[in-house]
Amino acid sequence: MSTATTGQRIVQVTTQTVGGPVEHAVDVAIGLAARGHDSHVVGPRTSRTEEASGAGVTWHDVPMVSKRDLRGGLASARLLRALRPDVVHLQDRRAGWLGRAIAPVLRGREGSTGVVYTLHGVADGLSDLVAGNARAAQRRRRDGWYYLTGERAITRWGGGRVVVPSRAVAAYAVDHVGLRPEIVDVVPNGVAAAHHEAPRVATGDPVAIWVGVLAPVKRVDLLLDAVAAAPGLRLLVAGDGPLRDEVGRRAAEPDLAGRVELAGWVDDPSGLLARADVYVLTSDAENCPLSLLEAMAAGLPVVATTVGGVPEVVRDGVDGLLCPAGDAAALAAALRRLSADPHLRARLGASARQRVLDSYTLDHCLDGLLASYAASRGGA
């Protein structure tokens, strides 16, 4: 086992370079190092690798570019075995399949290496199986056997525990994937609230901010239609993805011209959040979005669709205003209401920040993960 003199040797495994799962993995790795654990990341370098290394995390640059990347998979497997970790935490779907496939080898004869997989999301074609979600894409024939039957089989083979950041997706894991409830742990995501505490930069007209990947499930079309129906409101879009050109064309149309700023992908949105008055989320499906928690930590009121775990975080009329998925008219009405009422924005924003401080900080998340790690090492 680990020869570290303080804490456990805990390895985060990721195969991505951008997106919520890898951001979460880096945050967790840094937080564990700060608590005295021998913290490692196995995965491709990202824009945050140097930050993590400077915070005491050992980063092993091992790309695995696809499910069929046999060379990357074997390299990752050999490294994980050589590290002899106390706990392996698998942070995205591809990492989850790899790590659980080799879990019996990692455990070895002693059987004391814990294996934990975080289910960060549901395939778009199955998203409507989660309470509150709409179906984000056409259901494909392979969705059932890969994401339901396959997920159930690899979990049974690999053992360990499955962490889910929301109760809504935990119910999906039990009711539809068929996982045993006793191995599923709900551990909400968390953010470093102090990092996002900054005075707002006054910019004149109220500004709404949207943060994420410009992909169909995020329904940026609804976002733009809703903002177009909220005169006087400007929009800041922080993100990139396959729909960037389409979003740019729509933003240039007469009802939005001059009101939309496309900031592109940003690694740290805190500076942009400080320029905004309202955070808006228009997705058809979500779990427990980090961008939502970051915006709330920055003291922004929320306008969001009631999808996945969002209603578990945002209390309607307390921290923000919730709308049904796919309802551009309801989103526009909520944006108009907040645009016209700075006192309501201030009240909801203050409550949103306190909500994060009370329940959704990185420390809350680490406490929950460490409990899951301990359970996974106990043979659960």
Report if pTM > 0.85. Answer: yes
- Please state the rounded mean pLDDT for residues 278-302: 97
Query: What superfamily in CATH does domain 193-359 come from?
Result: Glycogen Phosphorylase B; (3.40.50.2000)
Sequence letter at residue 367: D
Task: Give residue-wise pLDDT tens across range 160-194.
Answer: 999 999 999 999 999 999 999 999 999 999 999 88
Pull the structure tokens for residue 203: 């910019």
What value does the mean pLDDT of the chain take? 93
- Please state the rounded mean pLDDT for residues 205-233: 96
Do 9-190+361-377 and 193-359 share a fold?
Answer: yes
- Please state the rounded mean pLDDT for residues 212-233: 96
Among residues 287, 268, 300, 298, which one has the least CA distance to residue 27? 268
CA distance 306 to 71: 41
Q: Which residues pair with 234 in a beta bridge?
A: 207
**In this predicted structure, what is the pLDDT of residue 4?**
40
Is the pLDDT confidence value at 360 over 80?
yes
95 vs 202: which has the higher pLDDT: 95
Instruction: Supply the angle between the helices 93-101 and 70-83 in degrees, to the nearest 10.
Output: 60
Task: Give residue-wise pLDDT tens across range 116-134.
Answer: 999 999 999 999 999 999 9
Q: Which residue has the tokens 């993995």?
A: 25
What is the sign of the dihedral through the CA atoms of 69, 123, 372 and 91? positive
User: Is the backbone of residue 105 left (phi > 0), alpha (psi -120 to 50) or beta?
Assistant: alpha
Is the pLDDT confidence value at 65 over 80?
no
Look up the CATH number of domain 9-190+361-377. Answer: 3.40.50.2000
Q: For residue 187, what are the contacts with CB-CB under 8 A and spacing of at least 6?
A: 163, 164, 165, 365, 368, 369, 372
Q: Tell me if 121 sits within 8 A of 295, measured CB to CB.
A: no
Is the pLDDT confidence value at 234 over 80?
yes
Q: How many other C-beta atoms are found inside a 10 Å radius of the C-beta of residue 68? A: 8
Q: Tell me if 88 sits within 8 A of 80, measured CB to CB.
A: yes
Burial of 358 (0-12, 13-18, 19+ CB in 10 A): exposed
Is the pLDDT confidence value at 380 over 90?
no
Q: Kindly list the domain boundaries of the chain, sorted by start residue.
A: 9-190+361-377, 193-359
Q: Which residue has the tokens 């808006």?
A: 280
E strands within the chain?
Answer: 9-13, 38-43, 58-61, 87-90, 114-118, 161-164, 184-186, 207-213, 234-240, 260-262, 278-281, 302-305, 320-323
29 vs 108: which has the higher pLDDT: 29
Q: How many other C-beta atoms are found inside a 10 Å radius of the C-beta of residue 110? A: 8
- Secondary structure class of 11 (helix, strand, coil): strand
